[in-house]
Structure 1
Amino acid sequence: MKAVKEHQSWFSLGIIWAGAVISIPSLLVGNALIAGMGLSKVLLVTLAGYSVIVLLMILQGIQSTDLGRPTVQVAGQVFGKTGSRTILSIILAIACLGWFGIQANVCGAALADLLAKTGVNMPVPLASLICGFVMVISAVYGVKVLRVISYIAVPLLVGISIFGLIEALTGDSLQIIQHYKPEGAMSFTDGLAITLGSFALGAVIAGTIGTVLAVVGILNYFTPIMSILSAMIPPVAGVMIASYWVLGRGDKRCWHEVEGVNVLGVVSWLLGAVIASTPVVLSLFPSLPQVPNQPLIGIVISFVVYYAGYRLSAQKSVILEGK
């Protein structure tokens, strides 16, 4: 029997990630930003947001590579074996439900518009339902199908993006862009929250429920969903970075999985997530006092709380052992 291939090539994984980054819903992020910002501000927000995303991906990717384990297992040190599987499962479920629904809704709206041009009228909810089931079927077959789809879709999306960029920067279009005035007003931090929140995952577990969300029109709530995701997910990285890169100095020999639940890690993440989510939740109720959205505050709080808590507990252990 042939040995099972344990690792994918960097190119095959790279093409899949390229398909995720330049997907149509990702372009929708740009549409949401440009509705409330000028072009120069949008470019600055996008650069800042995706720089943070790439940095987190690099740190988490190196850690998983060092340990040869997936993220859920790697988080077993900071959240505990049981805690990591529970917390990350909940976070990923919420992220997958929202993002899957948005993608299915975007695809359904595009399909309905395309059919309308050929004289076929299909309601957007029905089109979204069909697209959702197609996406679920492709997800069932995993990375192999995603790789094939990405090999086809990525070159097309790159070509369309380049064509659109050329059209936007030539002729009268360039003057229109230069004199563009956004209809709304979006702050830098709100734009950053949308950009960070766009970094979410899709999975077959979320497929059925996500498709239902697409049918009921989840796309109408795109901005708050992205903001909530940007509040919940980064604090996880804050705790893990504090543990592995700062306290453990990036040494894989210092890593070990904790049985049960690591209360310090859970509390650190929860504090960061709740505080970061507060401005988003308050924005849904205009009559309540509003707090400025600070999308990076969650990762900073979770990092600081875990680091300080670990140091204090370690110091207390030394004192007790000395008695």
Structure 2
Amino acid sequence: MENNQANTKWYSLAGIWFGGIVSVPALLIGSSLISALSFSTSIWAGLIGFGFVVLFMSLLSMAAVDRRKATVALASSSFGEIGAKIIVALVIGLSTLGWFGIQSNIAGASFSKILLEMGGPDIPIWITSVFWGIIMVLTAVFGFKYLKWLNYVAVPAIVLLLIYGLVITFKTHSFQEVLDFKPESNMPFLQAIGLTIGFISVGGVISPDYNRFAATKKDAVLGSIFGIIPSALCLLAIGAILAITQGTYDIVEIFSSLGFPFFAMSILILATWTSNVMNIYSSGLAFNDLFKLSDVSRSKTTLLVGIAGIVLAAIGILSHFMSFITLLTITITPIAGVMISDYYFAKTYQQEAAKINWKGIFSWGAGVTVMLIMESSIKNILGIVIAAMFYYILKKIMK
């Protein structure tokens, strides 16, 4: 079955990654960075951060094509079979759960805004967040097979909405105004790079799940580069431009001020819906793996995990967006460091994995600890390097 699928060309993979990137959080990164950086500096931070993730993503993807294995199976060599299930599945499960909470919150805020703009009641955002969270969880549990049809509508719709937003914007503003923009606060450049790394770090680590089906290693690498860097940079730039010209960093506020609030908000909800069903589906799958449950239990697990995500949305996780992204950078990138070191540097990859590989778990812990303790923003790049180095040294010392 898998070998029949293992002939996916780079442009098909690029399409999958493009669809995953075109989302509201991608715009949110741009509007968040521009609150503390100039436009050109934000773009540079994005280019370096996204480039860094695509680099480790390419290395993991080439190993995945070699072995035709998904992320948790590939991580079994460096973390041990149980270690990979616990650490990798838990981190992926929790991070996709967090994304679900954030996107349900965005959908809720958009919906409350639509109702108000149309002269309807002023419903608290936490209630609409819960309402949309329930719809998205039920889609993941019962209507997953219809998701691709939702995607066929949502991705082109949000692309058209963004083009429309830019056309309207540049009727009354010049690009020079965007270039001349000076933010009121300031953020260290390395911290900005860390935020852009955090935004797609989950995708980087779970890339073997999709890229293992590439026809060749070259297809896996090209699919990652062309699927992620152009789309992520474009959305970051658009998020920043709209924030500068509309005078607010609140993404719901921005689209509301573009005219046609009903259409803009509806598309925003639709785009959030598609990517969010994927989030809660992946989260349910990861927790199902973690607790060694059968495939039959997946829908029940997804339902339970979804309830936790709805609670996050109700308490307003969106207001902690930057902290959430930082947490992702700290816990996820060291996983890639350990896996890459095992495969390429220590060259100790084993097809038949031990139950637990303490060297991998300890090395991951070292990377996470360095990122937690260090004050300097260079820690965002160092975590993955420290984890890789630790693993290499431990493997050489303790042969």
- Please indicate the TM-score interval, normalised by the length of the shorter structure: 0.7 to 0.9
Match of 1:42 in 2: 42
Q: Pick one of 300, 309, 312 that aligns with 2:385.
A: 300
Post-superposition CA distance 1:201-240 (Å, at most 9, x none): 6233342211110110011111111011011101100111
2:373 aligned with 1:278: yes
Contact residue 167 and residue 173 of structure 1 kept, 8 A: no
Tell me the secondary structure at the aligned position of residue 102 of structure 2.
helix
Unaligned runs of 5+ in 2: 204-278, 285-304
Q: 1:22 & 1:172 partners in 2: Cα distance?
A: 24
C-alpha displacement of 1:62: 2.2
C-alpha displacement of 1:52: 1.4
2:280 aligned with 1:203: yes
Match of 1:318 in 2: none
TM (norm. structure 2) is 0.69
Bigger shift: 174-183 or 44-53? 174-183
Match of 1:260 in 2: 355
Unaligned runs of 5+ in 1: 280-289, 315-323
Contact residue 64 and residue 70 of structure 1 kept, 8 A: yes
Q: Which runs of 4+ in 1 moved over 6 A?
A: 3-6
Q: 1:293 & 1:246 partners in 2: Cα distance?
A: 23
Match of 2:333 in 1: 234
In the TM superposition, 1:92-241 aligns within 5 A as 92-120=92-120, 121-140=122-141, 144-168=145-169, 172-199=173-200, 200=202, 202-204=279-281, 205=284, 206-241=305-340
C-alpha displacement of 1:278: 3.0
C-alpha displacement of 1:174: 2.1
Tell me the secondary structure at the aligned position of residue 113 of structure 1.
helix
Contact residue 40 and residue 179 of structure 2 kept, 8 A: no
Match of 1:321 in 2: none
Contact residue 194 and residue 377 of structure 2 kept, 8 A: no
Match of 1:312 in 2: 397
Post-superposition CA distance 1:64-102 (Å, at most 9, x none): 222122110110000000100011122112212221111
Contact residue 81 and residue 257 of structure 1 kept, 8 A: no
In the TM superposition, 1:12-91 aligns within 5 A as 14-91=14-91
Q: 1:109 & 1:157 partners in 2: Cα distance?
A: 17
Tell me the secondary structure at the aligned position of residue 220 of structure 1.
helix
TM (norm. structure 1) is 0.84
Bigger shift: 182-191 or 168-177? 168-177
Tell me the secondary structure at the aligned position of residue 36 of structure 2.
coil
C-alpha displacement of 1:182: 1.1
The AA in structure 1 aligned to 2:162 is: S
Structure with larger RCO (C-alpha < 8 A, sep 6+): 2
Pair 105,6 (structure 1): closer, same or farther in 2 beyond 3 Å: farther
Bigger shift: 189-198 or 172-181? 172-181
Match of 2:247 in 1: none
Q: 1:56 & 1:141 partners in 2: Cα distance?
A: 35
Contact residue 168 and residue 174 of structure 1 kept, 8 A: no
C-alpha displacement of 1:135: 1.9
**What percent of counterpart residues are identical?**
32
Contact residue 108 and residue 128 of structure 1 kept, 8 A: yes
Tell me the secondary structure at the aligned position of residue 79 of structure 2.
coil
C-alpha displacement of 1:163: 3.3
Q: 2:395 & 2:143 partners in 1: Cα distance?
A: 39
Bigger shift: 139-148 or 208-217? 139-148
Q: 1:141 & 1:47 partners in 2: Cα distance?
A: 38
Post-superposition CA distance 1:174-199 (Å, at most 9, x none): 24313312122111121112111112
Which structure is higher in helix share? 2
The AA in structure 1 aligned to 2:382 is: I
- Report the number of matched residues: 298
Tell me the secondary structure at the aligned position of residue 295 of structure 1.
helix
Contact residue 80 and residue 355 of structure 2 kept, 8 A: yes
Tell me the secondary structure at the aligned position of residue 37 of structure 1.
coil
